[in-house]
Amino acid sequence: MTKLDDAYALLPGGGPLIKDYPGEGWGDLVYEMCEKLAALPGGAPKMSQIKSKFGELRVYTCTAPTAEQGEIIAEAIEKSKATCEICGKPGTMKATGWMIVLCDFHMDPKNR
């Protein structure tokens, strides 16, 4: 079980309908998001997809999120913009080619 599997287990229906996992480096921030959503009085919304797009986290819910749910999701998206998608260390968006947030180590193509 990966951290993302653990995170998805907190969601209704056992996770997003479409399994399109972002990198494991985002496991902690996705887990934290799911944990906070699950702790809301109404619980977590049913998800259609959680993935990486243009280097940042995208979260698609099946129904429009409430204000509280939206805030938690927005916080996770903000974090994803500064978190290496491979290892979870602080990172920045790669300037050229495929858009992905990487730490200094993973920015070097030799280390990917």
Point out which residues bind Zn ion (CB under 5 A).
84, 86-87, 89, 103, 106
Q: How far is the CB of 109 from Zn ion (least distance, A)?
A: 13
Q: Which is nearer to Zn ion, 69 or 83 (CB)?
A: 83
What's the min distance (Å) between Cβ of 6 and Zn ion?
Answer: 20
Q: How far is the CB of 110 from Zn ion (least distance, A)?
A: 13
Q: Which of residues 38 and 87 has its CB atom nearest to Zn ion in the complex? A: 87
Nearest Cα to 90, choosing from 77, 103, 107? 103
Between residues 47 and 102, which has the closer beta carbon with respect to Zn ion?
102
**Least Å from the CB of residue 7 to Zn ion:** 19
Neighbours of 93 (CB within 10 A): 13
Nearer to Zn ion, 63 or 96 (CB): 96
